[in-house]
C-alpha cells in the first residue's frame, strides 16, 4: 500500500467481501430481530473465517474488512466488530487459560463477547467509572487454584453492546489502587456468574445494546485481565486499535449512501432531464464524494500508523474516527435529502443507514472526546 491507494490484491479482497456481505450475510441479517444478538449471522461470519481475521489481522486489514462489510451489510459488520471489541482484551491481556477457553469459540461465532466500559455516570469520561470491586476473601470467582481471595462487583454498566445476551463480558471496575484511571482493573466475567443480570435497551440503532447490573458478582485472580490497577491501559489499547476501524465502518456506510445517490440522481427525471443534470445536485454529490475519500484516506493512514508502531497513534486514531464518523453523517443526511421522501420509507437502504450512522459519533469516544484527544496530543 502507498500513502494514497490500495494495492490490486487489497481492492480485489474488498470487492469479494462486498459480494459476500450482500449474497450470504444480508439474508441472515434480514431474518434477525432488531436489538437482539443474531447468532446464525455470527456463526456464518465464523464459518467464512472472517472472525478469525479480526484477531489475526493488522489494523489496516481490520479497517478494510469493516468498511467492506458495512457497505453491504451493516449488521454483519457490527456483529463482527463487537466480537473483536469484547474479546481483544482477552487476546492482549488474558491468561493462557482464558484465551484457550474463550477465543476459539469467539472466532467460530459460537460465543458472544461484550466490552463493558460505559456506565450511567461515566460515558465519555471513562476514567470516572464507579463500578466497585470490593475486596472479599470469600469471592473466588473463577476458581483460582492458589485459593487467593477476590472481589465482589457492585454497580451498573449501561449502553453495552451485546448485553444482556453475551456469553462473557470484559468488565472494567474500580479497585482503588490509585485515583482516576490508576484505580481501574479489567476482569473477564462469564454471563452465568451469580449476581449478574441485565436488560435490553430500545435504541435508535438496530444492534443489541443493554444494561448490566452487578449485585455482588464474585470475581477472583483467575478472572483478571492483566494486573490490578492496570485495566484502563487494557481498555485504551483496545480502543486505539478499534477507533480507526470505527472510522472504516463509517466510510463503508458513506460509500454505500454515495453510490445509491449517484444511481438515483442519474435516472430520476427532473425539470426536463435528470436530477444529476442540476448543478446544485452535481456540486452536492461532488462534495459528498470528496469528503468520503478524504475520510477514507485518513482512516487508512491511521491504521498504517498503528501497524507501523508509530508514536502518534492516539492522535491519528482520534482524527480518523472524528473525520470519518462526522463525514458519514453528512453524506447519509445529504443522500436522504437528494432521494426525497422515498428514503424515509421503512426498509429503504438510506432509512436504515440514517439510523445506523448516528451512533458512531458517540460510542468509543464521542466526537468531542476525539477533539480533546487530538488537542492534548498536539500540545504534548
The residues assigned a catalytic role are: 364
- 3-class DSSP state of 187: strand
In the chain, how long is the greatest CA-to-CA distance?
81
CB-based contact 114:82 (threshold 8 Å): yes
Name the residue among 331, 349, 344, 298 with its Cα closest to residue 72. Answer: 349
Cα 216 → chain centroid: 29
Q: Strand pairing partners for 87?
A: none
Q: What is the DSSP string of 107-170?
A: HHTSS-EEEE--BTTBSS-GGG---EEEEETT--TTT-TT---EEEEEEEEEEEETTTT-SEEE
Question: How far is the CA of 250 from the CAs of 35, 232, 288, 371, in angstroms?
Answer: 20, 26, 13, 17
Question: How far is the CA of 337 from the CAs of 71, 332, 340, 350, in angstroms?
Answer: 20, 9, 5, 10
Q: How many CA atoms lie within 13 A of 299 on its CB side?
A: 34
Q: What is the DSSP string of 81-93?
A: HHHHHHHHHHHHH
Q: Strand pairing partners for 155?
A: 214
Amino acid at each position: 500500500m502507498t500513502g494514497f491507494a490500495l494495492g490490486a490484491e487489497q481492492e480485489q479482497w474488498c470487492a469479494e467481501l462486498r459480494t459476500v456481505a450482500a449474497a450470504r450475510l444480508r439474508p441472515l441479517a434480514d431474518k434477525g430481530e432488531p436489538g437482539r444478538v443474531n447468532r446464525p449471522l455470527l456463526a456464518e461470519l465464523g464459518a467464512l473465517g472472517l472472525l478469525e481475521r479480526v484477531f489475526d489481522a493488522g489494523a489496516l486489514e481490520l479497517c478494510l474488512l469493516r468498511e467492506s462489510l458495512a457497505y453491504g451489510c451493516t449488521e454483519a459488520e457490527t456483529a463482527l466488530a463487537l466480537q473483536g471489541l469484547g474479546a481483544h482484551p482477552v487476546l492482549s491481556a488474558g491468561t493462557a487459560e482464558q484465551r484457550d477457553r474463550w477465543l476459539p469459540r469467539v472466532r467460530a461465532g459460537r460465543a458472544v463477547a461484550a466490552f463493558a466500559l460505559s456506565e450511567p455516570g461515566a460515558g465519555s469520561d471513562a476514567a470516572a467509572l464507579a463500578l466497585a470491586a470490593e475486596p472479599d476473601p470469600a469471592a473466588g470467582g473463577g476458581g483460582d487454584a492458589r485459593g487467593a481471595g477476590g472481589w465482589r462487583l457492585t454497580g451498573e454498566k449501561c449502553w453495552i453492546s451485546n448485553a444482556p445476551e453475551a456469553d462473557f463480558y470484559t468488565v472494567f471496575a474500580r479497585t482503588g489502587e490509585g485515583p482516576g484511571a490508576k484505580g481501574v482493573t479489567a476482569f473477564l466475567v462469564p454471563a452465568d456468574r451469580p449476581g449478574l443480570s441485565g436488560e435490553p435497551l430500545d435504541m435508535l440503532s438496530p444492534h443489541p445494546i443493554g444494561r448490566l447490573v452487578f449485585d455482588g458478582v464474585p470475581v477472583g485472580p483467575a478472572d483478571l485481565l492483566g494486573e490490578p490497577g492496570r485495566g484502563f491501559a487494557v481498555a485504551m489499547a483496545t480502543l486505539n486499535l478499534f477507533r480507526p476501524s470505527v472510522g472504516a465502518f463509517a466510510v463503508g456506510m458513506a460509500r454505500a449512501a454515495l453510490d445509491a445517490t449517484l444511481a438515483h440522481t442519474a435516472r430520476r427525471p427532473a425539470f426536463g432531464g435528470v436530477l444529476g443534470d442540476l448543478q446544485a445536485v452535481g456540486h452536492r454529490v461532488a462534495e459528498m464524494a470528496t469528503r468520503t475519500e478524504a475520510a477514507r484516506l485518513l482512516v487508512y493512514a491511521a491504521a498504517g500508523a498503528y501497524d507501523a508502531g508509530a508514536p502518534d497513534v492516539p492522535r491519528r486514531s482520534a482524527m480518523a474516527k472524528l473525520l470519518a464518523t462526522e463525514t458519514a453523517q453528512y453524506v447519509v443526511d445529504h443522500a436522504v435529502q437528494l432521494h426525497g421522501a422515498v428514503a424515509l420509507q421503512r426498509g429503504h437502504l438510506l432509512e436504515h443507514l440514517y439510523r445506523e450512522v448516528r451512533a458512531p459519533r458517540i460510542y468509543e469516544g464521542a466526537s468531542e472526546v476525539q477533539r480533546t484527544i487530538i488537542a492534548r496530543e498536539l500540545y504534548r
